[in-house]
Amino acid sequence: MPAGPRQECHGLDRTGVEVAGLDLDARERGIELVELGGSRDALAGMDAEQSVRHRVQERGLVLVVSSLEVRGSEPNRPGALEVRSLAGAGGLVLAQRHRDVTPIDPDDPTRDFRAPSLGHVERDAVTLDLRAGTGRPARRQEREERHARGDSHALDTSRADTEVPKYPPTMRGAIAAGHRLTAEAGARLLEEGGNAVDACLAAAFVSWVAESPLTGPGGGGFLLVHDAHDGRSRLLDFFVTVPGEGLRRGTVGQMETVDVDFDDTIQAFRIGAASVAVPGTVAGLDLAHRKFGSVPWPKLFEPAIELARSGFELTREQAYLHAILDIILRHTEEGRVIYGRDGERLAAGDRVEMADLAETLETLAAGRGAAFYQGPLARAVSDHVRAHGGTLTREDMAAYRPIWRRPIQVEFAKHHVVSNPPPSSGGVLIAYGLRLLDSAGLGGPPGSAEAIARLVEVMGEQETARGPRFQRELFRGGLAQRLCDEQQVSAAAGRLLTGTTHISAVDARGNAASLTATTGSGSGCVVPGTGVHLNNMLGEFDLTRTTRRPGGRLTSGMAPSVALQDGRPRLVVGSAGSLRLRGAILQTIVNVIGHGLTVEEAIDAPRVHVEDGHVHLEGGTDAAAADDLERRGYDVVPWRRRNLYFGGAAAVGLLPDGTLHAAGDPRRGGHGIVVGA
């Protein structure tokens, strides 16, 4: 394409090619630039200004083709962009505000590669230097050769011991998950030489079967990967987006509100087809495999397919979960076929078989992620939702894309903790809490009234941080910097002194993967003939505080996290648990890193949760400590026993002697396995 006239978009609040609505789009969607589809030749002759304007008007997104360059302008105005013609750049550019910038291979848009000169778009932005000849970076040839050998983009598991953490020679890694079958699937991959991401993916596919009330292809999530070779941590965001592409603006369906009884408290959920957001899990796991996987994609599905066909016995912990979610699981006839027996809900010891889901898994194994977002399966999903009053369209499915983000980072107790960045809220609030505890101290020994009081005060400061500015700043940028600013932390520390599943894995070479995925409480909407139970994310009160346009990403409290010590994964952790998962992760990190507990002890320890001024103390909390807290004036709500209401953590930890240990949460039948121990 010949070089065209220079076109500038210095402001984000103007119209036409000046990118009308882009500022709002960046805030709400977290995306500024996407590939339109097609190669440089196919777009030759297209007027660049028209293409940008068309993309803004049609989808609220901005197109940058091979002849365009994006660079930061007006450094004092964060996010200001300049779009100009540039000949011979080659390839498309996918960027997102304040996050990683990734060039896309025009011959295969599903595969990404990084040009050597690429940096990150920060608050003041950087220049993307894609001058002629850099569209095919030098590293691409190496990666193509690795792809030909079948290990393209894979985490390296074969380097010399001097380059990676030294574990005992028999150890092949460790994995922890929400179910024994889930953990065993990942452990087999580690034992066979797969890397941490391979293990997470195989485990995730099994979790769709063994933990189907909480997760599945109809949900969304996040994957945090720490690469032992280059020392970098990367966060893949495949959370759900707002549906409604192609529908009249303002089209919404009617949700149904149901109450879920956790024994000592009741929580309301909104379900039904109208609560279904655009699923991202399949696309995210596909992209994770393309970038980091070393085991063939179909092989990763084999344990899940076998389990779905042969079935498994429901455990006591899973039966309890089925009981409290029964009103959702058996909401429709399709759900009753899977989760009922002779008109009754499933009980411990009953066998669960999922033949329809097995066929869907086989379809995905053969057709990868594209099979879920295009073709018969995508039509079945969207048509079923639309027929029952939802807004998920075929256009929504086809348009979905995962996003690579730069993790948030914070120091705590001489460890480097990385977690999920904005626009998700969980990671930044955990980082804020850890900074407060690092500054103010832990208060006392684990389980003591002093330590619990300190956690309660930190949780109170986290809630205070979620003020009127918080939701807006999640999408505009700068929130993490503001919260973790020394002055902010010092002031807050001074005041102190007065449904989901998670998989954590570490492989033999020190690579770590932390994956959290969810369908929420589930919408009760099971797509006929597929076994796919769709999410209810539009019905999650905590995720939908603002009105969003179609394609906009919802925020999330999920926060897969890794704590590093001297560059080595010291702790890999995440949790299920709706609003409580943030507290479960924070307390696990504090217990392991701050108090020196093992991951088993840390996860098993009674937890505290603060909500609406009430201090919920989990069963097992020391009675004297509870009495002391009441004397201090706290409104204490004691629980009779441990409960999955307080989250379902899964963690892998590294002991001082170099050995690995792993634990799943006993509150929900979690399981940890050290391979080769």
**Catalytic residues, which ones?**
500
* Other residues' Cβ atoms within 10 Å of the Cβ of residue 121: 25
Return the SS3 of 393. Answer: coil
Contact 78, 67 (CB under 8 A): no
Which ranges in 263-311 belong to alpha helices (H)?
281-292, 297-310
- Cβ–Cβ < 8 Å for 257, 268: yes
CB distance 646 to 584 below 8 Å:
yes
Of 328, 183, 303, nearest to 673 by C-alpha is: 183
Q: How far is Cα 556 from Cα 578, in angstroms, rounded to an integer? A: 9
- Which CA distances in Å does 486 have to 70, 436, 480, 492, 497? 33, 10, 12, 10, 16
Q: Strand 614-617 and strand 635-638: pairing?
A: parallel
Beta bridge partners of 255: none
Bridge partners for 624 per DSSP: none
Phi, psi of 376 (to 5 degrees): -60, -40
**Given CA atoms 16, 17, 23, 24 in this order, what sign does their dihedral have?**
positive
Residue type, 358: A
Spatial separation of the C-alpha atoms in residues 323 and 345, rounded to whole Å:
7
Phi, psi of 296 (to 5 degrees): -55, 140
What residues have CB less than 8 Å from 433, skipping those under 6 apart? 458, 459, 461, 462, 586
User: What would the two tokens of residue 651 be?
Assistant: 């963690």
**237-to-26, 282, 408 alpha-carbon distances in Å:** 15, 12, 13
Sheet holding 561-565, edge to edge: 408-412, 415-419, 561-565, 568-576, 648-654, 660-664
Q: Helix, strand, coil: what percent of the chain each, to 5?
A: 35, 20, 40
